Structure 1
Amino acid sequence: CSPEEHPANQTVSQGNSVRLGCAVEGISEADISWRKDGVKVHINDQMHFTLGDLHWETYYSVKSVQQQDAGVYWCEVDFHSITSTSQPAWVTVEGVPHFLQDPQDVSTLPGVPFDLRCSAVGPPEPVEVVWWVGGAAAGGPSPSPSVLHVPGVNSSINFYCEAHNAKGITVSRTGTVYIKVLPSPPVELSVLRMEENNVTLSWKPGFTGYSELSTCTVQVRDTVSHLSSRLPDWVAVPPCLLHLHHLTFYSNYSAQVACTNQLGRSPFSPWLGFQTPQTEPSAAPRNLTFDLRDQELRLGWAGLAEAELRGRLLAYKLQWSLGGEGQEALLFKENTARLSGAGRFFNSSFQVSACTVIGCGPWSRPITVLPAAAVPAPPLRSHLWVGVSLAALLVSMVGLFLMVLLQRRDKETQFGSVFKDPGPDSVSFLAARSFNRQGPDLPDSTLDSLGINEDLKTKLQDVLIQERLLTFGHLLGKGEFGSVREALLKTGDSVQKVAVKVLKSDVDSSSDIEQCLKEAAYMKDFTHPNVIQLIGVSLQRRAGQRLPVPMVILPFMKHGDLHTFLLLSRLGEEPYELSVQTLLGFLVDVARGMDYLSTKNILHRDLAARNCMLNEDMTVCVADFGLSKKIYSGDYYRQGSASKLPVKWIALESLADNVYTSQSDVWAFGVTMWEVLTRGQTPYPGVENSEVYEYLIKGERLKQPPDCRDDIYELMHSCWSPVPKCRPSFQRLVEQLEGLGAAASPPPPRPPQLYVNLEGEPGPEWLMASSAAMAIGGDCRYIMGPCGEEGGQGPPRDLRDEEDDAVIHV
């Protein structure tokens, strides 16, 4: 079927109504739709009327016609998948003109001519255009479309056009003539991506100056050397990106960018600083040499330049093999190594590699330690001279001996000539002359010879141990107060391993010794499972010194300190999980020990995880209590002294006024709690020691560790109240920690004891490695400092240099 009535062409004025009709015959159901300019018209209230059997009619109407309603219309019938259409009908809307092209903004240089364009249509026609520029008419009416030629302007102005026909006037949008200027600096310069030593920079254009940007110039320089990297002179934009390739690893760079438009280049953006990541060193240490001297093997090598290191040096890794079998690798912070027991390294092969936190670089050329290398063989001519010299010396000694012998025989002959015929009363004798070239042994020192008060002598008399009963072994540590040595103490028929703290040898008065021994006297009465106990004191007599050197004898804790244990659990070669209940158990032990000390009116003043020791059954014992002021010298905690301050553990009032109370120890216990809950991290990461006081005075405190329960952190935070009296007592801390531990889940089995028996291991100076060394790979459980031997500067710091405040501990 097809429509039998078609819509008719219509011309209407704008605002009037229009109605189009369409009829179709031969369909049982009406399905008639309308289309305008080929697009289906959606009619919400379309009605179909029946004119008879199979005869239908429908209409499309618009009550108020506007210009957008003008166009060509037709109706469309779908019947059994066959589409039929009516003839098209045109709807013409007469009214004021409407614009086909509004005038557009113009960007131009000062005084440069340009054209403005405007186009409008009716109906009715004709349509004329009048231009307005800068608020004044520019010429008379002109037919549409219209082009206005402007000879040039020196400042920004506005313009528009008017379209006139018989129905009225229509005004276009207002355009603006902009005068082009230089662009402003780019903004939001940032590092979009950083992959190894390849960096992608991105930025956004600033004000373009009414002119399209064509290129951008990027400057990149090394922050240290201020050398600019080789870059292209320009970067086409968009996109505003620059890929920098093959920068130097672990280097600081700065970048700035400027963009160019038609007039020229903008000022540069502010410098953006960034640092390339670390990687493995690119070169091996050179000039690896060795020296055998005094039963000690000394190794040395040249350090790497920064460009070769390509990161922050973590340690030097020394690997060696004996008989083709690889041995356990060793780590050193300096480019020297000293290994005792040189003989056991004969025929060993050594190699060294530099390591950053990312990994280790290439290995150096191996060197082999040979017995003959200990004493270099002299050349043949040297042998001849040595032989001649020895022979001359021997002849001289023999000649001298013969001369003495002849003189003695001559004296006896002269003497005997008087008694040429000796009778029975004659007496013969030989004069004997002997002496001991060794002086007498130094006598044992006694308390009576020290000049200390009688009460102190009485208290220490039963714990005085003679020096001859001690056999000293490995040097465990060395610091400001003196040294710590492993020793064997003979008591009757038994031998006990102990740790001996030896005060510095520059003791110059009895008062110094009395101050040290007075603290030891306090320790004598300590009997608590969570406080390390005094075994005895001894006095070491040294030749050439008027007064003996005090020594404090303490139990040997072979499992080490709590800080190292926590680090191994997190960063060790075989990390293991420590449950919350296990960590709270450690803290309960520390709190009990400190509560006991507070009842004895003892101020610890150096409480930290490093000064808490683990005994045989992994119970924590507080160590170094009451000795801080004396053993570490009276200035140890005085702000501004030459000695280092453990400022990250010191209470706010102690930093400000050098005042210490039991509440000051509670503050340090809160910091120790943070150490334990973070598994050995350094407090206040990113805050320098010199900045801690200002950090605290502003109200800042240590942040809540990850995975730390809110109730635990609340108790921790209460220890850092700025008002000392508001901090909990140690007795209260014990009660609350026990309650928190009871609420925790049952602990897993105790982790394996990851400690090494140092007996039989090379060198007395070996210490447990900081667990950061595990990041380098390999089975490296030891670390040696450059001066670990007698006379050195103490044990090595943590490889990450986090423990700036660390002090030597047993």
Structure 2
Amino acid sequence: MKPLLWILVFLLRSPAGSCGTGVVFTKHPSNQTVSQGNEVRLGCAVEGVTEPDIMWMKDGEKLYSTDQVFLTLGEQHWETSHSVRSVQQHDAGQYWCEVEFHGLTFSSERAWITVEGVPHFIQEPQDVATFPNAAFNLTCAAVGPPEPVEVLWWLGGVQEGEPQPSPSILHVSGVNSSVKFYCEAKNARGISVSRTGTVHIKVLPAAPVGLQVLGMVDNNVTLSWQPGFTGHSELATCVVQVSRRSSRRWDLPQQEVQVPPHLHVLSGLRSHSNYSARVSCVNEVGASPFSPWMHFLTPESVPSAAPRNLTFDLSEQQLALNWAKLQDDELQGKLLAYKVQWTLGGEAQEPLLFKENSAQLSGGGRFFNASVQVSACTAVGCGPWSAPVLVLPASVQLQVQRSHMWVGLLLGLLVATIVGLLLTVVAQRRGKETQFGLVFKTPGPESSVSFTAARSFSRSAADQENTLDSLGINDELKNKLQDVLIPERLLTLGHMLGKADITSSGDIEQCLKEAAYMKDFHHPNVIQLIGVSLHRRPSQRLPIPMVVLPFMKHGDLHTFLLLSRLGDQPFDLSLQTLVQFMLDISRGMEYLSSRNIIHRDLAARNCMLNENMTVCVADFGLSKKIYSGDYYRQGSVSKLPVKWIALESLADNVYTTQSDVWAFGVTMWEIMTRGQTPYPGVENSEIYEFLIKGERLKKPADCRDDIYEIMHSCWSPVPKCRPSFQHLVGQLEALWLSLSTAPPSKEPLLYVNLEGEEEEAGRGGGATGPRTSVEGTSSWSVPWQRRAEDEETDWLMVGSGAALAIGGDYRYIISPPGATEEGEGGGERRRESMDTLEDEVRDDEDDAVINV
């Protein structure tokens, strides 16, 4: 066996061309030295291969040629060549042939092509930035062949010294102004000239440009800017100066920022306050001038303090309340109303809203022995409650005060007596003093301890507060939501959005799963969970789970788009604003997909607009977390938004991030059509056949081709051919920047009451509604409502978004603008407009779902 083993080893290790393989190179490339611009040809021949598969190599890389010719020298004997018609310096190098045969590679001998010509630069002089009259060095290197190569320097058009062998270093003692320079390389073939460089003198940088507010989150403001001319020196830091403008100017300590990036977050600012900011950047020479002041207003917040000095005047006819106004710094926003809460017999009554810091409530007797509190409210919400004040007649108050005085005296005497007795007992029990303290002797038997409960507790389910432990949900979900559970007693419930069809623990668990998804979301374009609460129902065993979300001032995106087109006062939305909506949604979906979340119900109706006109992706009732693989299969029968569902999802009930991309394309179409229903004229039952034929949503009117191309790419029948959300974000960012380099302008907003006029007529009718100001922001008119036939309604009520922000189950809604001024003709036109709007909403809801 040993001789056979040695023969195998020999065959495997034998060199190319050995008789063991049958492959022999009969011609090898040879070394050649040619002048630059001449032709060169290399030849190679191999014997022992059936078909020509000869590859030329240069410096270890394959040379691909479309005109390679093979000549037949005999049976299984082939010759080929490689030629260069006009040799240049980059053609110089090492060449050889390779042949692949039965999985083995055979190589010819190697040859060099040497190109003679003018010198070739391997290092050209680079630009220099320096201080005035400071010394610096310049370097230049060139090679042949032929050698030797000499270098000659030129500085400011003047020859510097004599030629030097390459490489050459020129020492410059210093210059005081900008100057040009280059080098010449010379050999026997000629002269080459390098690039022209510049010596720059370092100076102060120019002021930064483009200072803007990039984003606002709570009271944290992100600033961004672009550096101006750097002064030929790298910028290391920038200085940000901020001042707050109120009755006087307050300069905040300036902040130093390391750059790049040219961003800075201002934290801890006051809510609803005017600020100014400017920036200066610093290089080696010094600081630049400051940019112009940039002014901005921070968002509103809930008031930080409660109204003070709450007083009352009670008579048989009415209760008059007065309290002190809050300061601007305490209000932290624009005052919307004061909310008055009163409690009688331990039960909280319906809260009341007032425009001024006073109130007159008719029927003073009904407030006897009531506890009254007041808080201030902005559009964001209400602040803390004032200390409760007990409403009593003046005579009773005097008696109470006197009784309180006597009770105080008696309590003082009682406390003094008890203290005296304790001191006596301590003195009697004092023993010897040790290093650890005082030792007391216990005369008599060991003392006993007795305990009397301060209060008793009822064990009935009606008196207990609902907790996650009592719902019968799984432990994993319970542990995840434990830290966001808000006790119901801490909430002031107003109008709850959503259905309350809770009939089993399974319904509760399904609702809480949506909250569990939202708990971990932290992104400006994804709605964030505030908390979860359990609402008790007196006649029901199971509570209603409530998901507490941030207040979205402008509602859902679909209704907002419809109002811009069909509302009482239609308003224009610029193309840049519409693209900004798309960009916000794509950023939110990119975040969700990065966390392996499939939304499954992405549509304009499930996207919300906050007060800053930022879109947040919401409604995760159908969303799924992918724990393995990259898809989710719908297994049970449910209602699904058929006109937003991808083709493969309709066919196989399979959902992926790519199917969310399909829905995003449909959402883009909704935005460009400003709320139209997708696939007009196509029934839900016909959608699949419509799509399988290759049909897609048509390009909306006035839609640019590049925008339609983006949405159309989302509807590819092959899921993997659709763009990712990361790619969509990049496309939309580039599109938004091409529309304008300035920040997007805020569009005028219009609030419309969707309740309808007939319902309002039965609810108090004559209240005036919101009005749109010149600047495009909404201001509310909140007049008194007093009627002789109903003494319970002589307080102020505000409606729509403002009432939801304040909280409370308010019964009166303000009518649309001009409801009392248009007359019959205007009212008829308004009814037609609102009917059209309601039809659009109803059509969208009908097309949104289908049983699958």
Kindly report which structure 2 residues correspond to 1:94-493, keeping only aligned pairs within 5 A, or say none. 94-224=116-246, 225-232=248-255, 234-293=256-315, 295-371=317-393, 376-377=398-399
Confirm or deny: 8 A CA contact 1:772 1:799 kept in the other structure. Answer: no
Confirm or deny: 8 A CA contact 1:278 1:310 kept in the other structure. Answer: yes
Pairing partner for 2:763 from 755, 760, 763: 755
Alpha-carbon deviation of 1:15? 0.7
Confirm or deny: 8 A CA contact 2:315 2:393 kept in the other structure. Answer: no
1:72 & 1:18 partners in 2: Cα distance? 13
Describe the shift of the 1:267–1:768 C-alpha distance in structure 2 as closer, same or farther (beyond 3 A).
closer
2:292 & 2:278 partners in 1: Cα distance? 6
Confirm or deny: 8 A CA contact 2:361 2:795 kept in the other structure. Answer: no
| Bigger RCO of structures 1 and 2 (CA < 8 A, at least 6 apart) | 1
What are the superposed Cα offsets for residues 320-340 of structure 1, whole Å, 9 maximum, x if unpaired? 222223322111111111111
Alpha-carbon deviation of 1:223? 2.1
Describe the shift of the 1:80–1:163 C-alpha distance in structure 2 as closer, same or farther (beyond 3 A).
same
Confirm or deny: 8 A CA contact 1:103 1:173 kept in the other structure. Answer: yes
2:80 & 2:157 partners in 1: Cα distance? 52
Describe the shift of the 1:681–1:14 C-alpha distance in structure 2 as closer, same or farther (beyond 3 A).
closer
SS at match of 1:154: coil
Describe the shift of the 1:97–1:140 C-alpha distance in structure 2 as closer, same or farther (beyond 3 A).
same
Pairing partner for 1:27 from 27, 49, 57: 49
Residue type of the partner of 1:778? G
Residue type of the partner of 2:763? Y
Residue type of the partner of 1:762? E
SS at match of 2:161: coil
Confirm or deny: 8 A CA contact 2:565 2:571 kept in the other structure. Answer: no
Residue 50 of structure 1: aligned partner: 72
Alpha-carbon deviation of 1:249? 0.9
Residue type of the partner of 1:31? D
SS at match of 1:11: strand
What are the superposed Cα offsets for residues 27-76 of structure 1, whole Å, 9 maximum, x if unpaired? 11110111111111111100111211111111000011011100111111
Alpha-carbon deviation of 1:368? 2.3
SS at match of 1:46: coil
Confirm or deny: 8 A CA contact 2:95 2:111 kept in the other structure. Answer: yes
Residue 444 of structure 2: aligned partner: none
Confirm or deny: 8 A CA contact 2:239 2:254 kept in the other structure. Answer: no
SS at match of 2:808: coil
Number of equivalenced pairs: 445
Residue type of the partner of 2:216? M
What are the superposed Cα offsets for residues 125-173 of structure 1, whole Å, 9 maximum, x if unpaired? 0000111111111111110111111111111111111100000000001
Confirm or deny: 8 A CA contact 2:177 2:200 kept in the other structure. Answer: yes
Residue type of the partner of 2:807? G
Describe the shift of the 1:324–1:799 C-alpha distance in structure 2 as closer, same or farther (beyond 3 A).
farther
1:292 & 1:323 partners in 2: Cα distance? 18
SS at match of 1:139: strand
Confirm or deny: 8 A CA contact 1:315 1:799 kept in the other structure. Answer: no
Alpha-carbon deviation of 1:312? 0.8
Confirm or deny: 8 A CA contact 2:204 2:231 kept in the other structure. Answer: yes
1:63 & 1:324 partners in 2: Cα distance? 103
Describe the shift of the 1:679–1:77 C-alpha distance in structure 2 as closer, same or farther (beyond 3 A).
same
Residue 451 of structure 2: aligned partner: none
Residue type of the partner of 2:809? D
1:354 & 1:242 partners in 2: Cα distance? 33
Residue type of the partner of 1:322? L
Select between 366-375 and 55-64 the one with higher mean Cα deviation.
366-375
Alpha-carbon deviation of 1:351? 1.6
Kindly report which structure 2 residues correspond to 1:728-739, keeping only aligned pairs within 5 A, or say none. none
Describe the shift of the 1:198–1:131 C-alpha distance in structure 2 as closer, same or farther (beyond 3 A).
same
1:675 & 1:755 partners in 2: Cα distance? 27
Do residues 86 (structure 1) and 86 (structure 2) align? no
What are the superposed Cα offsets for residues 748-779 of structure 1, whole Å, 9 maximum, x if unpaired? 99657550595664368546645564232212
Scaled by the length of structure 1, the TM-score of the pair is 0.51
1:380 & 1:108 partners in 2: Cα distance? 87
1:28 & 1:54 partners in 2: Cα distance? 5
Confirm or deny: 8 A CA contact 1:314 1:799 kept in the other structure. Answer: no
SS at match of 2:250: coil
SS at match of 1:311: coil
SS at match of 2:51: coil
Describe the shift of the 1:147–1:191 C-alpha distance in structure 2 as closer, same or farther (beyond 3 A).
same
Residue type of the partner of 2:791? P
Do residues 66 (structure 1) and 88 (structure 2) align? yes
SS at match of 1:344: helix
Residue 443 of structure 2: aligned partner: none
SS at match of 1:4: strand
SS at match of 2:329: helix
SS at match of 2:253: coil
Alpha-carbon deviation of 1:676? 13
2:310 & 2:53 partners in 1: Cα distance? 98
Residue type of the partner of 2:309? N
What are the superposed Cα offsets for residues 226-264 of structure 1, whole Å, 9 maximum, x if unpaired? 2222343x2111111111111111111111000111110
Alpha-carbon deviation of 1:79? 1.2
1:331 & 1:18 partners in 2: Cα distance? 96
1:146 & 1:251 partners in 2: Cα distance? 63
Residue type of the partner of 1:342? G
SS at match of 2:791: coil
After superposition, the CA RMSD in angstroms is 3.6
2:387 & 2:815 partners in 1: Cα distance? 25
Describe the shift of the 1:778–1:272 C-alpha distance in structure 2 as closer, same or farther (beyond 3 A).
same
Structure 2 unpaired stretches of 5+: 1-22, 404-493, 499-562, 573-672, 677-754, 766-786, 823-852
Select between 165-174 and 223-232 the one with higher mean Cα deviation.
223-232
Pairing partner for 2:803 from 766, 771, 774: 774
Residue 588 of structure 2: aligned partner: none
Confirm or deny: 8 A CA contact 1:198 1:245 kept in the other structure. Answer: yes
SS at match of 2:249: coil
SS at match of 1:246: coil
Alpha-carbon deviation of 1:302? 2.1
